[in-house]
Amino acid sequence: MKCYKNFIFSIILISCNVLAQSDPTDYVNVFTGTSNSRWMLFPGPTMPFGMVKLSPDNQTNVWNGGYEYTIGSIAGFSHIHSWAMGGLSLMPTTGEVKTFPGSADGPFKHMWTAGYRSRFNKTTEVGEPGYYKVRLYDYNITTELTSTTRCGYLRFTYPKSDKSNILINFATEYEENNAQIKCAYYKKVSSNEIEGYIKQYSSFADEYTVHFIMKFSKPFKEIKSWEQEPFSGNDLFGTDWQIKNNFYSDNEKELSGKCGVALIFDTGENEVIEVKSAISLVSIDQARLNYKTEIEPFGWDFKSVVDNNKAAWNELLGKIKVEDSNKELEKQFYTNLYRAFSARTIWSDVNGKYTDMCENIQQAKSPADNVYGCDALWGSHWNLTPLWTLVTPKIANSWVNSLLEIYDKGGWLPQGPTGIEYAEVMVAAHQIKMIISAYQKGIRDFDIEKAYEAIYKNQTVPGHKFECGGWVGNKNLDSFIKYGYVANEDGPVSNTLEIAFDDWAVAQFAKALVKEDDYKYFMERSRDYKNIFDPSVKFMRQKHADGSWVKDWDSLSNHGTWFGAGYVEGTAWHYSYFVPHDYAGLIDLVGEDLFINRLAGGFEKGYIDVGNQPNMQAPFIFNYTKKPWLTQKYVHKLLSESFDTSPLQGWPGEEDQGQLGAWYVLASIGLFQMDGGCSVNPYYDLSSPLFDKVTIKLDEKYYSGNELVITTEKKSRNDIYIQSVSFNGKELNSLKIPHAEIIKGGELKYILGNKPNKNLLNK
């Protein structure tokens, strides 16, 4: 009997231990930073780089659109949350059909300003990778969402009503607030299915068409569509308060302007109606193929789709395992890792078809497996590129092939390929560093000569308007080549520094490919940053075409636009440290003591802006000076004070499609790449990790090692300074480690203390 009791007790203990184990997705907070967030920072479900990003929207008339955590109402659940692209919103309601959402600070029920928007109680809202749920207070409807890569799955639980509706809004507001609906079309395929498309335009994504199909678990009893007529009177509270609608009962119709479709059902108490959808930028037939391939095999099994989504995320996030007694740190880590893979978008269909920058249908060919869209890759050499190449080299290779696929069809590498267009956004050509870094790390499943050809063209042929819309090539490259810097009359002086850094990266690629003349040429150009250094003030300064300095100048102002004079999204103070490829040369110009003291002062005075691309490297610069322990100090200061998991902050700046998330991940495990991993022999700059233990699963296809394990030995949280660091038992004599070493696998071990070891210097 005693043995029997012990056996039962053992089972209970084992069960408790199993239940206590958590998946990486359990630590992700999808609401982090969603207060006044960008359009791409959404709480709804998506797959890694999912085309469908199915999420609630509640803002109106703002540049960033999407979901604002502090707004207590919802206007719909839309399928697309990609940079400058949106579309296809669904909203369940009851009662008479309304055709406009109403004010974001409402709804004002029983007033002429009330639209179909509904309030909700935060206690009913649930969000996690692969799943979202909320109860719409004004209709007593529970909404649940999940997705595959190109398909959505919505589940609505209704009250008893003979007027239960699903509104499909074709003209939703989204980021940049400049979207235009050219026209929309729908067709009733059966009482359980509709199909159609929305032709849209935005200033960055140009023209694109969202094709869709939707299937319903229950037949709808009525379908009617609407078009709104413009209202010329006073627009009180920013809402169309006297909207005149044209309603239609056609089974097939083309619409224009603010328009949509309402499907009407009878429902019993707590009756569930489910909707499965698929989209494509190519055609309705392609949307149907996406549907048949991705979501039809699940049948009407909502939970299985949720489980499938979570499994994909757990596999991806599980490539890094962090262990620490402080579970809040683990939540921050996996939330940031999630964001590094959730905002950018696959725009090719399941069979590789996609619509190119000239609106022609193309077929991606091997080795390209996906064609991606996103905001600019500006600054990604300090975050996404080193993360993807180390942890997910297959994904890095896929992105390289996507860039080359776009080059193959349009003749240029894209700066920001939103909707697979040549979006006119940001500066320089940091996308080339993703290609170069991948090659230097042995990730080479792409056409290497084509890659070099594309990069060489980007750095030698001046940029210009593209015939199918947008912009290709480097802005201000002609001025840079002519003067050795970007003249103030021609554009931002900061582009001198951006182009010089890119040139250095191209030189490294040329060296690796034994193109000696190109190597010498680009190395010489990479030193042209010195042409805008003013020794009288020891800052990078605006300069006229005639060689004279701009007089109306100071180090903390003169922010420039992407096109105009000054410093792009920064100041002279920020850009005077933007020489990642030659800090030794820059320190010689400034003087090391002034260089260090000014940089440290920037942290103390609040000048540092790690939340934006031009200054993301700031804390790691100290590693290139005689005081590398300041890197450890300020990295920890930033991680502890500028990042959290709250909806109200999250990050110290705009979370540009995973860039700050990736920065946090790398900095928190003590790794950084100042040069973006573009040197012939790439290396990592080291700082002290936050975690007790980090285990990175290395991809066996690309890297010979099994795991890279990073461990720290410390007595308290105040121990942030490196006393010693070793790799596989051999003590390192500097705060750098070659990429070629860590991909062999093993243990990178830190001994930490509460005071700097000032004898540990980079050599």
DSSP 494-542: HHHHHHHHHHHHHHHHHHHTT-HHHHHHHHHHHGGGGGGEETTTTEE--
CATH topology (fold) of 25-315: Beta-galactosidase; Chain A, domain 5 (2.70.98)
pLDDT in tens, 514-532: 999 999 999 999 999 999 9
**How far apart are alpha carbons 281 and 693 in whole angstroms?**
44
* Rg, the chain, Cα only: 27
In 3D space, the residue among 524, 534, 523 whose CA is nearest the CA of residue 488 turns out to be 534
Return the pLDDT at 33: 94
CB-based contact 83:176 (threshold 8 Å): no
Residue 639: φ, ψ to 5°:
-65, -35
Q: Which residues contact 234 (CB under 8 A, 6 or more apart)?
A: none
Question: What is the phi/psi pair of residue 425, to 5°?
Answer: -145, 140
Distances (CA, A) of 481 to 82, 200, 477: 35, 39, 6
Contact 77, 44 (CB under 8 A): yes
Q: What is the pLDDT of residue 242?
A: 56
Residue ranges, the chain, pLDDT below 50: 1-20, 110, 232-241
Residue with tokens 């890659």: 451
Cα–Cα distance for residue pair 84/88, rounded to 1 Å:
14
Architecture of domain 476-590: Up-down Bundle (1.20)
User: What is residue 231's predicted lDDT score, i.e. its pLDDT?
Assistant: 52
pLDDT at 18: 37
pLDDT value of residue 14: 34
Dmax (CA) for the chain in angstroms is 97
Determine the pLDDT at residue 21. Answer: 63
Helices (DSSP H) in 392-462: which residue ranges? Answer: 393-410, 431-440, 448-460
* Alpha-carbon span 361 to 348, nearest angstrom: 10
> How far does CA 421 lie from the centroid of its chain?
17
In this prediction the pTM is: 0.95
Say if CB 321 and CB 370 are below 8 A apart.
Answer: no
Q: Do domains 25-315 and 476-590 have the same CATH topology?
A: no
* CA 443 centroid distance within chain: 22
pLDDT at 312: 98
Q: Fill in the amino acid letter for 282.
A: V
Nearest to 339 by CA among 367, 371, 316: 316
User: For the chain, which residues make up each domain, given as ranges?
Assistant: 25-315, 476-590
Q: Which residue has the tokens 């790691």?
A: 620
Give all strands (DSSP E) within 608-706, no chain letters: 671-672, 683-686, 693-697
Output the CA–CA distances (angstroms, integers) from residue 556 to 548, 572, 587, 613, in the order listed.
Answer: 20, 6, 20, 17
CA distances from 530 to 486, 499, 579, 590 (A): 12, 13, 10, 11
pLDDT value at residue 61:
63
CA 334 to chain centre: 15
